[in-house]
């Protein structure tokens, strides 16, 4: 027993020292733990669970971001659909209103022309065109109901169109200036040489009875001369396109300035207009006279 005790057991002093050491270390550990010892375990748990918390936080952020992006994508899609429908509606509306806008523009231009020509002009719409046919013309929507008679001049802001060929109760037909059987008394702008315009079709016409002695330049403006008592003097007819000397007279080809194929609204001159139309006289504004002695 003594041998075993000596072999396995400690001495009394050794046990005392171990106890002192344990006491001292225990107290030291207790001191080092500090106030609220549970916080150390909580902190250790926080440290250990930090990677998991980071992953969970990133996962939650990713899900939130995906949800937000999905929502924004859906909202964007819905907005795109709404805008597309709105665009289609606006396009339809614009297509529906385009003729009215064109007509309004045409009306404004006609109104400007009407103000420039101090005559009692009447307006009418072109409802049909038979120009491609032989001896074709333009059909207007007004006739005798508007007091129209045959041989009234027809014009647009770009130039003259022709004259009324026949007038019905509610419709009338225009003989265009480029028709082979049409004739308009014209004059050249520079030389003031007069002639008769005869149609060649397709917006072209030929001036007859211009002497070979006259000097005609290509591009020269051709105006009405007023001698036919259909158009007053000075309305634009077209521009000289080609000049060739003939046996007895010059062959002067003219491009009509009025777009005969695209006319939708016209103005009708009164029957038997005056030979020459004076532009409207506008009296200058009188300055208010200042009395003497007044500031």
**Binding positions for another protein, rule: CB under 8 A:** 16-17, 19-20, 23-24, 27-28, 30-37
Instruction: Return the beta strands (E) in the chain as ranges.
Output: 122-129, 138-140, 153-156, 159-167, 172-176, 183-188, 194-201, 204-208, 221-224, 236-245, 250-256, 265-268
Nearer to another protein by Cβ, of 32 and 248: the residue is: 32
Instruction: Say which residue the tokens 């419709």 belong to.
Output: 171
As given in the structure block, the two tokens for residue 111 are 């109104």
CB atoms within 10 A of CB 100: 9
Q: Give the nearest distance from C-beta 26 to another protein in angstroms.
A: 9
Nearer to another protein by Cβ, of 22 and 275: the residue is: 22
Q: Give the nearest distance from C-beta 7 to another protein in angstroms.
A: 24
Nearer to another protein by Cβ, of 31 and 282: the residue is: 31
Q: Give the nearest distance from C-beta 18 to another protein in angstroms.
A: 10
Q: Give the nearest distance from C-beta 62 to another protein in angstroms.
A: 41
DSSP helix/strand/coil, 229 = coil
Nearer to another protein by Cβ, of 9 and 28: the residue is: 28
Nearer to another protein by Cβ, of 24 and 135: the residue is: 24
Q: Give the nearest distance from C-beta 65 to another protein in angstroms.
A: 42
Question: How far is residue 273's CA from residue 194's CA, in Å, rounded to a whole number?
Answer: 19
Q: Give the nearest distance from C-beta 27 to another protein in angstroms.
A: 4
Residues 6+ apart with CB under 8 A from 251: 206, 242, 243, 244, 245
CB atoms within 10 A of CB 137: 24
Nearer to another protein by Cβ, of 19 and 102: the residue is: 19
């Amino acid at each position: 027993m003594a041998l075993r005790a000596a072999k396995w057991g400690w001495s009394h002093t050794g046990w005392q020292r171990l106890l002192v050491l344990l006491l001292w270390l225990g107290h030291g550990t207790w001191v080092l733990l500090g106030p609220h010892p549970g916080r150390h375990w909580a902190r250790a748990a926080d440290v250990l669970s930090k990677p998991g918390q980071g992953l969970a936080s990133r996962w939650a952020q990713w899900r939130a971001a995906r949800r937000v992006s999905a929502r924004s994508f859906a909202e964007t899609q819905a907005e795109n659909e709404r805008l597309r429908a709105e665009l289609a509606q606006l396009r339809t509306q614009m297509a529906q209103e385009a003729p009215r806008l064109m007509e309004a523009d045409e009306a404004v231009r006609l109104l400007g022309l009407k103000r420039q020509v101090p005559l009692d002009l009447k307006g009418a719409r072109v409802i049909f065109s038979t120009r491609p046919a032989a001896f074709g013309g333009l059909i207007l929507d007004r006739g005798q109901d508007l007091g129209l008679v045959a041989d009234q001049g027809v014009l647009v802001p770009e130039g003259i169109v022709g004259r009324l060929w026949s007038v019905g109760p509610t419709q009338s037909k225009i003989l265009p200036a480029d028709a082979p059987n049409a004739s308009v008394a014209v004059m050249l702008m520079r030389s003031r040489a007069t002639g008769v315009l005869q149609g060649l079709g397709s917006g072209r016409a030929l001036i007859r009875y211009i002497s070979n002695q006259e000097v005609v330049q290509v591009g020269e403006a051709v105006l009405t001369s007023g001698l036919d008592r259909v158009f007053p003097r000075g309305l634009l007819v077209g521009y000289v396109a080609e000049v060739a000397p003939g046996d007895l007279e010059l062959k002067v080809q003219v491009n009509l300035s009025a777009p005969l194929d695209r006319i939708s609204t016209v103005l009708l001159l009164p029957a038997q207009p005056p030979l020459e139309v004076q532009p409207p006289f506008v009296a200058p504004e009188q300055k208010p006279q200042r009395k003497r002695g007044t500031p």
